[in-house]
């Protein structure tokens, strides 16, 4: 992965590689500046295996710096700069970065870190890219070196860092080339945040193929994305299901020119059949890939191509067949499932599987299984085989959910609830709101009987806003007099969900009161 732009720079030196509004970098500039920044990092003491944290807004200079980190032998760690400071401080202290690319204000706001490190100012990054020493030798990067560490929601109530090796990315790119069919004639649009693993697919992969990539800034606005497709004659892009739906709701969707589109990758959660049909109807040359894969298996590992208009289709699309080099198993207990229609947990094997979780051997051991001498990642996803050899996604066997493309373990939210003094017992659940759609609901009981309900709701909401990323903050708040119990005496979570579902439609219950907050995405 470290030298993904070397060959395109030799073949197409003057061709636009990266377009970020008025800022344009050619492939020659991308190669030269990333090498220079790598030399700067090495001169500052960065050694192979060191972590470099990137906590800055997405920009062309930041992309160059990430490539430079790889060339220096470092592992890049992209972090959402908009998340609460305590969570950010936790991640930075856990990874002990050798350097941080961020604004000085952000560095000051998280306070002193456990290990001192180099600060590269976001504001001066474009100039810093040219500071490399000419006499510095860059290290040889090996396939088993870690390319990046990406933090995801954790079942322990804390985020965990997924370690992906260079060889895993190389294997992924070989398989992806058969599905996304991107070459130097293509014009691609990046929609993903750099702390979301999709950037490995919609940013770095097109660059490795010699294609031009147009960066889309946050927040993603439907008409702005549609205008970008039309103006730059975009041929390929990747967007999670909710963004695909968002774009169809833009006022320009029915009028703008989408004829340049060839292939779009989507996924991250169950996709809307109606949305996919709208795209196929509007863009005659388009085919859509429904991709599936956890961060631990290097972005995606199965794929299903959608090409036909099916106006009457109601059945969900499958998540497809394993990509080249990927092995999958379905397990029911210890038994391997091979019959169509029988549910089992999906295990993923092959070179795309992660090295492990950063500094967490226990969780790595929980998620990595060895079956018949082969190493597999236990996804926690429940699937079933179809008669044609493709996979259908059924659900989860734990408390993890997907929401707007983000992976969320409800235990992280429960940890915050359990630590709030006004909460006696708390349970976060997922429900469908008639206006907001799929949302998280915070359900709780309290001992503060004299406190006004609205004050309790606002107090808990404020705690969530202080401690969790915006996409984890519940939108609905339910106060229960008491939680329903099972015969065993344990809390009946299914009954909680049923009551929440009912109350989103009918607020007239004496046992449950709730309030709704519409979440606001970060910058």
pLDDT of residue 258: 97
The full length of the chain comes to 523
Report pTM.
Answer: 0.83
- 422 falls in which pLDDT band (50, 70, 90)? confident
DSSP assignment, residue 204? I
Give the torsion through C-alpha atoms of 28, 32, 38, 41, to 10 deg. Answer: -140
**What contacts 279, CB < 8 A, 6 or more positions away?**
244, 248, 264, 286, 288
Which superfamily is assigned to 6-237 in CATH?
A: ANL, N-terminal domain (3.40.50.12780)
| Average pLDDT score over the chain | 89
What is the rounded distance in angstroms from the CA atom of residue 405 to the CA atom of residue 476? 19
Return the axis-axis angle of helices 410-418 and 453-467, rounded to nearest 10°: 120
- 515 falls in which pLDDT band (50, 70, 90)? low
Give the β-pairing of 16-20 and 212-215. Answer: parallel
DSSP assignment, residue 122? G
Residue 205, pLDDT above cutoff 60: yes
What is the rounded distance in angstroms from the CA atom of residue 428 to the CA atom of residue 404? 17
Report which listed range, 293-307, 309-323, 410-424, 469-483, is most confident: 293-307
For 378, phi then psi, to 5°, come to -80, 110
- What are the Cα distances from residue 510, in Å, to 102, 169, 343? 50, 54, 39
Q: ω into residue 219 within 30 of 0, thus cis?
A: yes
pLDDT of residue 155: 61
Residue 438, pLDDT above cutoff 50: yes
Three-class SS of residue 115?
Answer: coil
Give the torsion through C-alpha atoms of 451, 455, 456, 462, to 10 deg. Answer: -150
Q: What is the DSSP string of 242-306?
A: HHHHHHHTSTTTTTS--TT--EEEEESSPPPHHHHHHHHHH-TT-EEEEEE--GGGSS--EEEEE
C-alpha R_g of the chain: 23
Residue 517, pLDDT above cutoff 60: no
Residue for token digits 């993904």?
4
Model confidence pLDDT, tens digit, residues 262-299: 999 998 777 888 889 999 999 999 999 999 999 999 99
**What contacts 365, CB < 8 A, 6 or more positions away?**
none
Give the β-pairing of 368-371 and 374-385. Answer: antiparallel
Residue for token digits 């079942």?
155
pLDDT of residue 246: 85
**Is 191 in contact with 236 (CB distance < 8 Å)?**
no
Report which listed range, 69-73, 104-108, 435-439, is most confident: 69-73
- What are the Cα distances from residue 231, in Å, to 138, 173, 180, 256, 478? 39, 28, 22, 10, 46
Residue ranges of the domains in the chain?
6-237, 325-393, 408-516
Model confidence pLDDT, tens digit, residues 71-85: 999 999 999 998 888
- Residue 447: other Cβ atoms inside 10 A: 11
Which superfamily is assigned to 408-516 in CATH?
A: ANL, C-terminal domain (3.30.300.30)
What is the rounded distance in angstroms from the CA atom of residue 98 to the CA atom of residue 47? 9
What is the rounded distance in angstroms from the CA atom of residue 122 to the CA atom of residue 225? 26
H, E, C per residue of 341-399 = CCEEEEEEECCCCCCEECCCHHHHHHHEEEECCEEEEEEEEEEEECCCCCEEEEEECCC
- What are the Cα distances from residue 204, in Å, to 70, 188, 353? 12, 11, 19
At the top level of CATH, the class of 325-393 is mainly beta
Residue for token digits 């085919």?
287
Model confidence pLDDT, tens digit, residues 5-60: 999 999 999 999 999 999 999 999 999 999 999 999 999 999 999 999 999 999 99
- Residue 179: other Cβ atoms inside 10 A: 17
The H or E element that residue 457 is part of is: helix 453-467
pLDDT of residue 511: 47
| Lowest pLDDT segment from 143-147, 245-249, 515-519 | 515-519
What is the rounded distance in angstroms from the CA atom of residue 89 to the CA atom of residue 111? 8
């Amino acid at each position: 992965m470290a030298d993904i732009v070397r060959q395109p720079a030799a073949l197409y030196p003057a061709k636009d590689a990266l377009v970020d509004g008025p800022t344009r970098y050619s492939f020659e500039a991308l190669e030269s500046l990333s090498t220079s920044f790598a030399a700067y990092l090495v001169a500052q003491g960065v050694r192979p295996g060191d972590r470099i944290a990137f906590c800055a807004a997405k920009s062309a200079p930041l992309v160059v710096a990430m490539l430079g980190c790889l060339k220096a032998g470092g592992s890049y760690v992209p972090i959402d700069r908009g998340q609460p400071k305590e969570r950010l401080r936790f991640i930075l202290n856990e990874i002990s970065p050798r350097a941080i690319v961020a604004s000085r204000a952000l560095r000051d706001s998280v306070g002193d870190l456990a290990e001192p490190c180099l600060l590269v100012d976001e504001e001066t990054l474009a100039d810093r890219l040219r500071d490399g020493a000419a006499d510095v030798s860059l290290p040889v990067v090996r396939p088993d070196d870690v390319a990046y560490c990406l933090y995801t929601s954790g079942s322990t109530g804390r985020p965990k860092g997924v370690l992906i090796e260079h060889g895993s990315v190389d294997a992924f790119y070989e398989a992806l080339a058969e599905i996304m069919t991107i070459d130097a004639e293509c014009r691609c649009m990046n929609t993903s945040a750099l702390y979301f693993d999709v950037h490995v697919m919609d940013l770095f992969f097109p660059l490795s193929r010699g294609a031009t990539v147009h960066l889309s800034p946050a927040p993603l606005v439907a008409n702005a994305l549609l205008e970008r497709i039309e103006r730059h004659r975009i041929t390929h892009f990747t967007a999670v299901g909710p963004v695909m739906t968002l774009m169809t709701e833009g006022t320009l969707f029915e009028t703008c020119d989408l004829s340049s589109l060839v292939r779009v990758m989507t996924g991250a959660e169950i996709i809307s059949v109606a949305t996919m049909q709208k795209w196929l109807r509007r863009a005659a040359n388009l085919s859509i890939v429904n991709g599936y894969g956890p961060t631990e298996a290097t972005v995606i590992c199965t794929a299903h191509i959608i090409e036909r208009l099916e106006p009457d289709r109601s059945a969900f699309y499958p998540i497809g067949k394993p990509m080249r080099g990927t092995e999958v198993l379905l397990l029911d207990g210890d038994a391997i499932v091979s019959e169509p229609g029988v549910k089992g947990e999906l295990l993923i094997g092959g070179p795309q599987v992660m090295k492990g979780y950063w500094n967490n051997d226990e969780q790595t051991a929980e998620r990595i299984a060895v079956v018949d001498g082969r190493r597999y990642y236990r996804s926690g996803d429940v699937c079933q085989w179809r008669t044609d050899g493709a996979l259908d996604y059924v659900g989860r066997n734990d408390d993890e959910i997907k929401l707007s493309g983000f992976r969320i373990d409800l235990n992280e939210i429960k940890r915050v609830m359990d630590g709030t003094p006004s909460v006696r017992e708390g349970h976060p659940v997922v429900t469908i709101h008639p206006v907001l759609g799929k949302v998280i609901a915070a359900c709780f009981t309290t001992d503060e009987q004299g406190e006004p309900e609205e004050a309790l709701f606002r107090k808990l909401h404020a705690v969530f806003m202080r401690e969790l990323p915006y996409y984890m903050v519940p939108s609905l708040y339910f106060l229960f007099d008491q939680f329903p119990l099972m015969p065993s005496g344990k809390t009946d979570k299914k009954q909680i969900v049923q009551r929440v579902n009912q109350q989103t439609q009918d607020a007239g219950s004496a046992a449950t009161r709730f309030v709704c907050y519409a979440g606001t995405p970060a910058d």
